[in-house]
Amino acid sequence: MQQKALVQRTKVKTNYFTFSCDQPLFKYKVETEPQVPSTQVRLLFKILGQLKESLSNLLQPYQPFNFMIYSPVHIDETTFTAEYENVKYTVKLVPTGMLEVSGKEKETMVFMGRFFKLLQGHLKLKQIGKKYFDDKNQENFNQWKLSVWPGYQTSLNNYQEKILINIDPCFKVLRETTVIEFIKDLMSRYQGNQERVKEECIGMIIMTR
């Protein structure tokens, strides 16, 4: 008598989340006259800043990135005029197609990375390196003169042509001591050996309130 094998589904929890977009994203190439060099993206953003109201009326929401603008709103080729630092510019938006929101396109991954960075900036968290911390919900350990900030870091990956957002929790441990208190403690520990104190201090991060 044969016995049927039992198949049991296994639930796995992960810190990867699938990103999906239910709206198309249209691409517009930004052309200017006089021409802004490709190495002066900041200048282009300053010029686009003069057109913020006009662009918002047509494309809200929209997101510029390098010499492209992305928006879920479709418009025909449009021309604007702007003035920045006494120079008059003609700015033309040229439709170039749609952005395919999938992990197989390099352009999509670059844009989404920039987009998520901007979103995280609106959270008003403390950014240290590539990590974000919530200093308003810190945990204090007064007996050790320490405080801990909860935080997280993110990264984008692709798997089977899908965009995956990785969110890892992390923590920042801060010593609630001043620099002078730290140096005095080192001087006492190393019996006044300034070279040893110097070695301990080089490379450390000092945060001010």
Q: What is the pLDDT along the chain (209 residues), one digit of tens a residue?
A: 555 556 677 776 778 888 777 788 999 999 999 999 999 999 999 999 999 999 999 998 899 988 999 999 999 999 999 999 999 999 999 999 998 877 677 888 888 888 888 888 888 899 988 899 999 999 999 888 889 999 999 888 888 878 888 999 999 998 888 888 888 988 998 888 899 988 888 888 777 76
* Helical packing angle, 179-189 and 194-201, nearest 10°: 140
Domain span at residue 50? 21-99
Distance in angstroms (rounded) separating the CA atoms of residues 6 and 48:
63
- The total of structural domains in the chain comes to 1
Q: Do the domain assignments include residue 209? A: no
Q: Do the domain assignments include residue 128? A: no
Q: Vertex 117, ends 114 and 120: CA angle to 5°?
A: 155
* Structure token pair of residue 173: 């441990």
